[in-house]
Amino acid sequence: MTSQHFCKLFISLLLLCIPAHTESESFAQAKAIFEILKPNILDFDIDAILDNQQPVEILSISENSKYKLIKKLENIINQGLFIDFLCPAFPFKSGNHDQNTISSNVDMTEYHSLKHLNQMIEAIKTIYPKVHFTIVTDGLLFADLFHIPDEIVLAYERDLKRLTKLLPHITIKPIFQLLSHANQSLQTIREEIGCIEKTQLIPPPKNKKRFEILKARILQEINHSNHPYFHMQAFDRVIYLEKIAQAVIARDEFVKQFMKQFETANTIRLSTHYQKDISEKIGIRFSNDSYVTPWNGVFVRKADGTVSILRKREIDTHRFKLEHELHNNVECAFYNWR
């Protein structure tokens, strides 16, 4: 045997003696947590689904961002820190009670969705017990644009808190508390950011498709008799819809920037909208059986026992009747099969 062959044989034997690489326990935990999150990650544009009959276009999520999210979770676990899920959501019920919702009150859609999130966190805690899930209710930052009275928003937030007393893994934090903590004035924000009266029409953003989707979604919210839009002339409606869409974008941007001061290295940011890069922000589903957010729809229990969230206009009241259930003294309305 030549010395060259001997060297190769020696190296081969040496490699056999080296234990195969195994992933760390924290990486395995992070992967397991991702598998729990995975079915709850938005892979479609929920804002574009304006009708339950529409085909749902499945959108891609970057593979690299999945890996980066797992590594971020691994890093948090390695340090023994809490995984802090943070999500601005549950603003207020759609004011369009003819087409979308039963009333301005919390109902079974909220309870069903919060329960779903609570079960998700419960499952994650079996893998890694240090988990927080905080929902920041941001309705007061948008209510004036949709002519929703502040007292309606505050009542909605109070009932959400009452429901979460039954769901220990979810915390409701009204954005008014965060604004006070940061010495920010709600009234000043409303007057200076996205104020309809002060909004000057500007060219739509570069992503015109997204802007048109936003306008269509807003139209479903404001085209009812309790909103000034409903009573306007056709030309004025066009101008007003453009202005309110631009105002919503401005307020959205404020929320994004404002929330950053409450994020840390162990914060996992969630969004109610689809996100391609989930390592930066995860678009989260509030239900695994619906394409409608809880504040824009009604809860339906079908003949076979399955449930869904639909818009009110999609309910055949000859087949479904309105019923109520009490959850921690919150009367939760829903439609049940007759």
* CATH number, domain with residue 141: 3.40.50
What's 41's DSSP letter?
Answer: B
| The pLDDT of residue 158 | 98
Q: List the beta bridge partners of residue 323.
A: 334
| The pLDDT of residue 20 | 41
| Residue 3 pLDDT level (bands cut at 50, 70, 90) | low
What's the chain's length in residues? 338
Query: Which residues fall within 8 angstroms of residue 186, CB to CB, at 6 or more apart?
Result: 140, 141, 176, 179
Q: What total of structural domains would you count in the chain? A: 1
Domain containing residue 77: 24-296
How high is the mean pLDDT of the chain?
91
Is 0.85 surpassed by the pTM of this model? yes
What's 88's DSSP letter?
Answer: E
Query: Which residues fall within 8 angstroms of residue 105, CB to CB, at 6 or more apart?
Result: 93, 155, 156, 159, 331, 333
CA distance linking residue 252 with residue 87, whole number of Å: 13
Q: Is residue 330 part of a domain?
A: no
Q: Is residue 324 part of a domain?
A: no
Is the pLDDT at 17 greater than 70? The verdict is no
Lowest mean pLDDT among 41-55, 138-152, 183-197: 41-55
| Residue 6 pLDDT level (bands cut at 50, 70, 90) | very low
Three-state secondary structure string covering 121-162: HHHHHCCCCCEEEEEEECHHHCHHHHCCCHHHHHHHHHHHHH
Q: Is residue 320 part of a domain?
A: no
Lowest mean pLDDT among 39-48, 202-211, 302-311: 202-211
Kindly calculate the radius of gyration of the chain based on its CA atoms and give it in whole angstroms.
24
Is the pLDDT at 14 greater than 70? The verdict is no
Half-sphere exposure in the Cβ direction for 187 (13 Å, CA): 0
Is the pLDDT at 2 greater than 70? The verdict is no
Q: Is residue 303 part of a domain?
A: no
Q: Is residue 318 part of a domain?
A: no
Residue with tokens 């999520």: 61
- Give the residue among 12, 10, 63, 8 at the shortest CA–CA distance from 34: 63
| The pLDDT of residue 216 | 95
Is the pLDDT at 279 greater than 60? The verdict is yes
| Residue 125 pLDDT level (bands cut at 50, 70, 90) | very high
One-letter amino acid of 331: E
| Residue 208 pLDDT level (bands cut at 50, 70, 90) | confident
| The pLDDT of residue 289 | 77
- 200 alpha-carbon distance from chain centroid: 30
Six-digit token pair at 237?
């409606």
| The pLDDT of residue 4 | 53
Is the pLDDT at 19 greater than 70? The verdict is no
CA distance linking residue 318 with residue 320, whole number of Å: 6
Work out the percent of the chain whose per-residue pLDDT is above 90: 83
CA distance linking residue 102 with residue 299, whole number of Å: 10
CA distance linking residue 32 with residue 133, whole number of Å: 18
| Residue 1 pLDDT level (bands cut at 50, 70, 90) | low
| The pLDDT of residue 296 | 96
| The pLDDT of residue 197 | 86
Is the pLDDT at 129 greater than 90? The verdict is yes
- Give the residue among 285, 295, 290 at the shortest CA–CA distance from 107: 295
CA distance linking residue 332 with residue 315, whole number of Å: 17
CA distance linking residue 43 with residue 58, whole number of Å: 6
Q: Is residue 305 part of a domain?
A: no
Six-digit token pair at 334?
């829903």
Average pLDDT of span 299-324: 95
Q: Is residue 16 part of a domain?
A: no
| Residue 21 pLDDT level (bands cut at 50, 70, 90) | very low
Higher pLDDT, 214 or 7: 214
CA distance linking residue 338 with residue 331, whole number of Å: 20
Lowest mean pLDDT among 73-82, 94-103, 197-206: 197-206
Six-digit token pair at 108?
């079974």
- 195 alpha-carbon distance from chain centroid: 25
Residue with tokens 């206009």: 313
Coil, helix or strand at residue 252: helix
Q: Is residue 308 part of a domain?
A: no
| The pLDDT of residue 5 | 56
Average pLDDT of span 20-27: 75
* pLDDT tens string 135-163: 999 999 999 999 999 999 999 999 999 99
Average pLDDT of span 302-314: 94
- Give the residue among 203, 209, 216, 237 at the shortest CA–CA distance from 296: 216
Six-digit token pair at 267?
């914060």
Task: Give the strand pairing for 320-327 and 330-337.
Answer: antiparallel
